[in-house]
Structures are given as structure tokens and as C-alpha cells.
């Protein structure tokens, strides 16, 4: 499985929004773009898709911007992929194989692999990613004498 730029940038944007969620702060496109080095125009399109998918909300006004639509602990990585790719990309069916025993065996193994990938993506939430990022940043700040 390969993560598309679209999905990766969307996850990065969601991660920034998840960081601001406890404060109730809204982030503007230019702020997210600067923090994650994402082109503004492209980010606008991604955020529109995330908004239509119900993962984020837009707030109008001088202090407006974007916020998560729900708690980061309730948005999974699979939710983000599904929103950006239009459907569950991991569960999409490959080309049909011939109706042979070998073809059926290959299909069964492929189905099991898709289910395993889905369960991993469904297991992690934006909150989990935020916590992991915090732990890694703390490790980087540590130095030893």
C-alpha cells in the first residue's frame, strides 16, 4: 500500500488541527500550510474535501479558520484515507482473478491482507498520532552529559 500525497497532506493538516483542538483554536489555511510546508492552493482543495467528508468544520470571521468536527480521539487514520480517496482504498478489490483454485487462494490471501491493513489504520486515531509526535519531540530535546 502506498500513501498518496493527497492523503499524506490531509493527515498532516488534520494533525495540526488536532493539536489545536483542546484550546478550541481555529487554524487558517496559511498557518497550516506554513507549519507543514504544504502549498496553499492544494491545501484549500484538501480542506474542502475534509469538510465535505465531515472531518473538519470551517469558521467564518476574523478569528475564523478550520477546526476538527469531532474529538481527535474519535477520528481514525482510516477515516482520513476514506475521506480523501473516496472509498476504503485498502479494501478495494483488485482485478478479478481466473476461477481456478490458485486464483481463489490468491484472492483469500489478498482479502486477509486488506483486512489486516484496515484494522491497523482503524486502530490509530489523530489523538494517538499527536501523542506519538509529542513523545518524539521530547526525545529530540533530551540531551545527555
Question: Of the segments 46-55, 57-66, 80-89, 92-101, which one has the largest average pLDDT value?
Answer: 46-55
The predicted model gives 76-97 an average pLDDT of 73
pLDDT grade, residue 70 (50/70/90)?
Answer: very high
Q: Which three cell numbers stand for residue 42?
A: 492544494
Q: Please report, for residues 17, 76, 93, the alpha-carbon distance to residue 68 in angstroms, rounded to integers and kept in the order given.
A: 6, 12, 31
Give the Cα separation of 86 and 67 in Å (integer). Answer: 21
DSSP state, residue 137? H
Q: How far apart are CA 117 and CA 109, in angstroms?
A: 12
pTM exceeding 0.85 = no
Residue 20 CA to residue 25 CA, distance in Å, equals 5
Alpha-carbon span 20 to 94, nearest angstrom: 39
The domain 5-143 having CATH identifier 2.170.150.20: the answer here is no
Burial class from Cβ neighbours inside 10 Å (0-12, 13-18, 19+) for residue 41 reads exposed
Q: Name the least confident of 56-60, 83-87, 97-101, 136-140.
A: 97-101
> What is the structure's pLDDT at 27?
95
Could you tell me the residue ranges of all domains in the chain? 5-143
Amino acid at each position: 500500500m502506498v500513501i498518496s500525497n493527497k492523503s499524506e497532506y490531509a493527515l498532516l493538516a488534520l494533525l495540526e488541527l488536532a493539536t489545536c483542538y483542546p484550546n478550541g483554536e481555529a487554524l487558517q489555511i496559511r498557518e497550516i500550510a506554513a507549519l507543514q510546508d504544504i502549498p496553499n492552493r492544494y491545501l484549500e482543495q484538501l480542506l474542502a474535501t475534509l469538510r465535505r467528508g465531515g472531518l473538519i468544520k470551517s469558521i467564518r470571521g476574523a478569528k475564523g479558520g478550520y477546526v476538527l468536527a469531532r474529538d481527535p480521539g474519535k477520528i481514525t487514520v482510516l477515516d482520513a484515507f476514506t475521506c480523501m480517496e473516496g472509498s476504503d482504498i485498502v479494501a478495494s478489490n483488485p482485478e478479478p482473478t481466473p476461477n481456478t483454485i490458485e486464483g481463489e487462494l490468491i484472492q483469500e490471501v489478498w482479502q486477509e491482507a486488506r483486512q489486516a491493513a484496515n484494522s491497523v489504520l482503524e486502530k490509530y486515531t489523530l489523538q494517538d498520532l499527536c501523542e506519538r509526535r509529542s513523545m518524539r519531540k521530547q526525545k529530540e530535546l533530551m540531551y545527555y552529559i
